[in-house]
Structure 1
Amino acid sequence: MNSFDVIVIGAGIIGAACAVELQALGRKVLLVDALHPGAGVTAAGMGHLVALDETDDELDLCMLSLARWDAYLSRKGGLAEHAQCGTLWVAEDEAQMAQAARRVHRLAQRGWSASLLSGAELARIEPSLRKGLAGGLRVERDSAVYPPAVARELAARLVAQGGATRFGTQVLRIGAHDMQLASGERLTAADIVVAAGTGVTSLLPDIPVFPRKGHLAITDRYPGRLAHQVVSMGYGQTEAGSDALAVAANVQPRATGQWLIGSCRQDGVAHAEVDPRVLAQLLRSAIALLPCLAGMTIIRSWTGMRPATRDGRPIIGRHPVLGHVWLAAGHEGLGVTTAFGTAQLLADLMLGRPASIDPTPYSPSRFIHAPAHAQA
């Protein structure tokens, strides 16, 4: 039987970031995954680093994490395939322009540079956009990375710092201080961190993380055709239709010259197969903003299952019943952006030091309430 200070379950970008953070703070850490670093949700996503501000607490976590990303990319930008493309949030009417103006103000208050653009200015800096748009906002410091490469680098760094990894074997169950692997091995730790994406509920059925399906597509190489990540102002706000599908265009230029196309959300769908009907709707949404896409070649499409929660916030903190089990899960589409901030906040809570931001909105206790006999 092997014993560690902390076992982190899940070697996606969030779990890997948590493992490295805790190892650097003097804990003996083991990182476990049924597959390999950067697989699963991390491999399927778009990899954008973006300051989202639907709520103050969402922006708090984004800003905490983006500062850490700046430090990481100053050292590992090449490995991460970092593209400083910025984001153009595109407004199609005056109501969305008013929303864009409010976002500019909120981001400016946090020192995250954003500027309001007229329709003519939008057309000048991104000629591929369709004519007649109302305008939008430009967020210059937003960027994109290739998340699986970052997760792999973090896992390697963990080992270099004296931590350990165990990949290719599934965790069957966890207790207060131990876990059972499919290989038959039993591991023990003072603390267990569950960062298993959509697999959280198989280990902790009382934690309400559910899969929210998304489709993505990528084009052949068209270098120099798109300078910015282009996102509809409806991104993250579009209501699902009767088929539980919500679509809002998000098109990202990659370092390869390819265009990565999202984004859609679909609940209540358990299978991972590409649905041609959904893919077609996604592409129509993107073409509506970038008409030249209609003449481009799509070379691959795929799906991913985002780990979502009922209130749209991640779950970060101590399990209220299993006192030595901790959660870092439910980040949906912001897992890459908030990975380093999540790791920092979780370490704050585990080490009992003052929290970097208010942890209350992310507490697991908002979904389940600890009884009087909860384990210490």
Structure 2
Amino acid sequence: MLHPQGNSPRSSRSVAIVGAGIVGMSAAHFLSRAGWQVTVYDAGVVASGATGSADGAVSVASKKPGPLMTLAVAAVKFYEQLIAEGVLVDEYLPRSTFVVASDDEELSVLERHAGELEAASVPIRMLRGTALTEVIGAAAPTAIAAAEVQREGHAVGYRVVERLRRLGGFAIRRNCRVSGFTSSNGHITGVITECGTEQADAVLLATGIGSMHFLAESDLIRPRKGQLIVTDRAGADSPHFPGPLMSCRYLVSKGSQPANSAAASRSLGLVIDPLRTGQFLIGGSREDRDDRETADGDIVAALLRDAVALSPSLARLRVIRVFSGLRAATRDGMPIVGRVGGADNLWIATGFEGDGICLGPLMGRLCQQMICGEPPDQDISALDATRFRLTLAAAA
């Protein structure tokens, strides 16, 4: 249960949060409401990393069966809770996602994934024949079947972060890089920054790829690049999109469903997302590279070809923007959340790759509960940092 901002007694306990993305800022919000004195540090500005270059999907449809799918179900419900409590009013758009099969091989993937979604109690509706034509036929005439994954949503990451910033209750140190920590007897006592050293009773690392700077295990997380395309606004004569169209190949590219061949260092999926503005967001790639500022013509061309093949009406539109970002990808494809060895008051929440916007607010809440010594509302044992025996780097 959330408490109004002014109702929680302030505490002498202080927490330093490294990283002003959606996970760090959500944790700041909930820790502040729990009475902690919170300071968020970021080497840049808020939402300047993966949060600011994400597609905004709050989606179970693409999740791998198991803990991630279960947590995504809880995360969608948590967004709905935050709307009801007035925290994220107007920042979350409920909608369905349509997972589309265009050939027999994709149909096999679709049917398998639909069964796994249903097993996780995700509400879905299989669309074939007349029902398929009536719902998405004009948008995707080549589709032979689709699964409508219901009770999904969309949230723009930087807008969520800005809302949390405006609600306030915590300090933000922008353009203030944290270089290490002061400690005593296995207990962190402060953070060392470019702006000086500041006291902290607890620390949360929520800075994506940058979290590895503080840990001895430097090869645990790697950058995974994604490229996205934005079109101009669709005209009145364009087919209606009832929600984002997700090719079954996206499930394979993300690892949510098995592929017929070995994983490649570069893979393409396809999601066509109708935005509130009337534009379309088309994505995306998954590339084990770190050249964030570069957009590649071959990747963009391939995504556009695939998008037009699935939805020919998109050929009428112009591309007005191409951008890319870096996701933090872990060695085993699962986020890392929990306590770091070598310090009894150091916590980490990182490695969410393409799931940060979906899981971010919920993870912020669970981090708050862990730091406060409360049992988390959700089972996150599969994400526990102890599976990698994480320890604080000697130099930090």
Q: Shared topology, TM-score over 0.5? A: yes
In 2, are the aligned partners of 1:86 and 1:140 still within 8 Å (CA)?
A: yes
Match of 2:202 among 191, 194, 212: 191
Give the secondary structure class of the aligned counterpart of 2:295. coil
Does 1:204 pair with 2:211? Answer: no
Q: What are the ranges of 5 or more consecutive residues in structure 1 without an aligned counterpart?
A: none
Paired residue type of 2:287: Q
Query: Residues 71-86 of structure 1: matches in 2 within 5 Å?
Result: 71-74=81-84, 75=86, 79-80=90-91, 82-86=92-96
Give the secondary structure class of the aligned counterpart of 1:215. strand
In 2, are the aligned partners of 1:170 and 1:182 still within 8 Å (CA)?
A: yes
CA deviation after TM superposition for structure 1 residue 323, in Å: 2.4
What does residue 146 of structure 2 align with?
136
What does residue 247 of structure 1 align with?
268
Which digits, 9 at most, give the CA deviation of each residue in 1:82-101, with x for residues without a partner? 33331000012344334434
Give the secondary structure class of the aligned counterpart of 2:332. coil
> For the residues of structure 2 that align with 1:158 and 1:168, how far apart are their CA atoms?
19
CA deviation after TM superposition for structure 1 residue 370, in Å: 6.1
What does residue 237 of structure 1 align with?
252
Give the secondary structure class of the aligned counterpart of 2:307. helix
In 2, are the aligned partners of 1:49 and 1:145 still within 8 Å (CA)?
A: yes
Match of 2:233 among 205, 221, 234: 221
Does 1:42 pair with 2:63? Answer: no
> For the residues of structure 2 that align with 1:6 and 1:61, how far apart are their CA atoms?
25
> For the residues of structure 1 that align with 2:391 and 2:153, how far apart are their CA atoms?
40
What does residue 316 of structure 1 align with?
337
What does residue 27 of structure 1 align with?
36
Does 1:283 pair with 2:294? Answer: no
Moved over 6 A (4+): 240-243
In 1, are the aligned partners of 2:203 and 2:345 still within 8 Å (CA)?
A: yes
Rate the CA distance shift 1:178–1:197 in 2: closer, same or farther, 3 A. Answer: same
Does 1:356 pair with 2:377? Answer: yes
Rate the CA distance shift 1:169–1:354 in 2: closer, same or farther, 3 A. Answer: closer
What does residue 173 of structure 2 align with?
166
Question: How many pairs are equivalent?
Answer: 365
In 2, are the aligned partners of 1:119 and 1:133 still within 8 Å (CA)?
A: no
CA deviation after TM superposition for structure 1 residue 205, in Å: 4.5
In 2, are the aligned partners of 1:219 and 1:299 still within 8 Å (CA)?
A: yes
> For the residues of structure 1 that align with 2:379 and 2:263, how far apart are their CA atoms?
36
Match of 2:110 among 100, 123, 130: 100
Range with bigger deviation, 163-172 or 324-333: 163-172
In 1, are the aligned partners of 2:230 and 2:320 still within 8 Å (CA)?
A: yes
Rate the CA distance shift 1:4–1:367 in 2: closer, same or farther, 3 A. Answer: same
Paired residue type of 1:165: I
Provide the alpha-carbon RMSD of the alignment. 2.5
What does residue 25 of structure 2 align with?
16
Give the secondary structure class of the aligned counterpart of 2:134. helix
Give the secondary structure class of the aligned counterpart of 1:273. coil
CA deviation after TM superposition for structure 1 residue 363, in Å: 1.1
Does 1:152 pair with 2:159? Answer: no
Rate the CA distance shift 1:170–1:119 in 2: closer, same or farther, 3 A. Answer: farther
What does residue 181 of structure 1 align with?
193
Give the secondary structure class of the aligned counterpart of 1:228. coil
Paired residue type of 1:123: T
Paired residue type of 2:157: P
In 2, are the aligned partners of 1:90 and 1:133 still within 8 Å (CA)?
A: yes
In 2, are the aligned partners of 1:62 and 1:337 still within 8 Å (CA)?
A: yes
Rate the CA distance shift 1:205–1:216 in 2: closer, same or farther, 3 A. Answer: farther
Give the secondary structure class of the aligned counterpart of 1:264. strand
TM-score (norm. length: structure 2): 0.85
Q: What are the ranges of 5 or more consecutive residues in structure 2 without an aligned counterpart?
A: 1-11, 183-187, 254-258
Rate the CA distance shift 1:119–1:54 in 2: closer, same or farther, 3 A. Answer: farther
> For the residues of structure 2 that align with 1:110 and 1:20, how far apart are their CA atoms?
30
Rate the CA distance shift 1:79–1:204 in 2: closer, same or farther, 3 A. Answer: farther
